[in-house]
Structure 1
Amino acid sequence: MSCRSESTKAGVASGVHGSAGAFGGSQSTFRSRRAWIVFLTAIVLSLVVDLLTKEWAFARLANAPVTIDRSQVLATSDLHLLLPQPPPRVVVVPGLLDLTLVLNPGAVFGLGAGKRWFFIFFTVIAVAVVTWIFWKGTRPRDWPAHLAAGLIIGSGLGNLYDRVLYACVRDFLHPLPQARWPGGKPLWPYVSNVADALLLAGIAGLLLFTWRRDASEDMPAGPKTNKDRAES
């Protein structure tokens, strides 16, 4: 009976550890100082860089600083009227990147114009989900995933700041401004900001991490190293 009890316990323990390993994370990430440093540093730096570049663009690109009044944004259906006409345009790299000023009532690529409260709610949920992924879906050594998760949260908070304070998002980066489709339509008509770029980079990084992790789990397991034993 003792042998059967011990084998049963071992089987249960093996099943528990197997299910945790299949997800790829552990509670040790929550206790990892390095993981938190990478995660929080990415959040703070992406948020600060995004807000500072927005402030700089709206203060410097036009002949005079452009201030955004939230009440005016909510009262008008054409946000272009709140900007200098014609909008300023500064060529940074000819044919590759221009700087201009746009007030975006939607999300990245101008999607969902006018659905400000939806995007505020969505951002809050996304921050919670990505934080949960950082905690439960990564290991202490998975610093690329921690960096990617931090970029997603920091960029989301940057645009959330704009939506709450200004009821719109300040955009100023226009890549490929002169590129055209064969019919003459602009190839990339969207104006974005640093938060949008960091958001896409963070999503791409997290997807790459997930793909590489899944691929490594499909490979035959080799002998554990001392580092693996310490993290398990």
Structure 2
Amino acid sequence: MRKLRSAFPWLILSALVIALDLYTKHLVQQAFVYGEHVPVTGFFDLVRYHNTGAAFSFLANASGWQHGFFTAVSTLASVVMVYLLVKHPQKKLFCLGLALVLGGALGNLYDRLTLGYVVDFLLFYYQQWAWPAFNVADSAICVGVGLLMLDSFKQPNA
């Protein structure tokens, strides 16, 4: 029970990521029609896109089987991440990375379950090249994975 309690701050961080992600997606859905672009700078637009695939629209054009697959993978990965947060709450960098990935995964999973797609709204580009549109959940996942990679290079305590 003590380990579960010590994992609580990490789970709160995941919940904050989910809340920020869902709130920003809600704002975009209220303010934009699908496909709309609002230029902010010469390299950044706010948009409203619907992603039926995974990261960077991977498998977005598949016949529909990917919805169940990504839902199952996200659910299983989330269970594993919660288990790891409970098991290793003292490993701060590791848990910070996991908490961000967990929050992002659950934010996108919520969209996938309730809408059938994930709302993306941040679009960076340079001339004719564009990075695929993304959202707060995707950002949290990327930062979390980076922190997990950084943590993997740390020397274990002898």
Instruction: Give the TM-score of the pair, scaled to structure 2.
Output: 0.86
How far off is 1:179 after superposition? 4.2
User: What's the secondary structure of 1:94's corresponding residue?
Assistant: coil
Separation of aligned partners in 2, 1:163 and 1:139: 29
The structure with the largest strand share of the pair is: 2
Amino acid at match of 1:131: V
Three-state SS of the structure 1 residue aligned to 2:45 is: strand
* Aligned: 1:178 with 2:126: yes
SS class of match (1:106):
coil
1:54 aligns with 2:25: yes
CA contact (8 A) 2:36 2:47 kept: yes
Give distance in 2, aligned partners of 1:198 and 1:126: 15
Q: Which of 87, 111, 116 matches 1:167?
A: 116
Work out which of the residue numbers 126, 134, 141 in structure 2 matches 1:199. 141
Q: Deviations over 1:21-60 (max 9, x none)?
A: xxxxxx97x2553x421x1121111000000000111212
- Matches of 1:32 and 1:208 in 2, distance apart? 26
Gaps of 5+ in 2: none
* Pairs aligned (count): 154
Out of 47, 69, 84, which is 1:133 matched to? Answer: 84
Identify which of 102, 115, 120 aligns with 2:71: 120
Given that 2:101 and 2:140 are in contact with CA atoms closer than 8 Å, whether structure 1 keeps it comes out as yes
The counterpart of 1:100, out of the listed 47, 67, 70, is: 47
2:100 to 151, 172, 175: 151
Q: How far did 1:153 drift?
A: 1.0
TM-score w.r.t. structure 1 length? 0.61
1:133 shift after superposition: 2.2
Residue 179 to residue 133, structure 1, CA distance change in 2 (3 Å): farther
Counterpart-to-counterpart distance in 1, 2:102 and 2:5: 19
Q: CA deviation at 1:198?
A: 0.6
Considering Cα pairs closer than 8 Å and 6+ residues apart, tell me whether 1 or 2 has the greater RCO: 2
Structure 1 runs (4+) greater than 6 angstroms displaced: none
Gaps in structure 1 of 5+ consecutive residues: 1-26, 67-82, 181-185, 222-232
| Identical-residue share of aligned pairs (%) | 30
The one-letter code of the counterpart of 2:25 is K
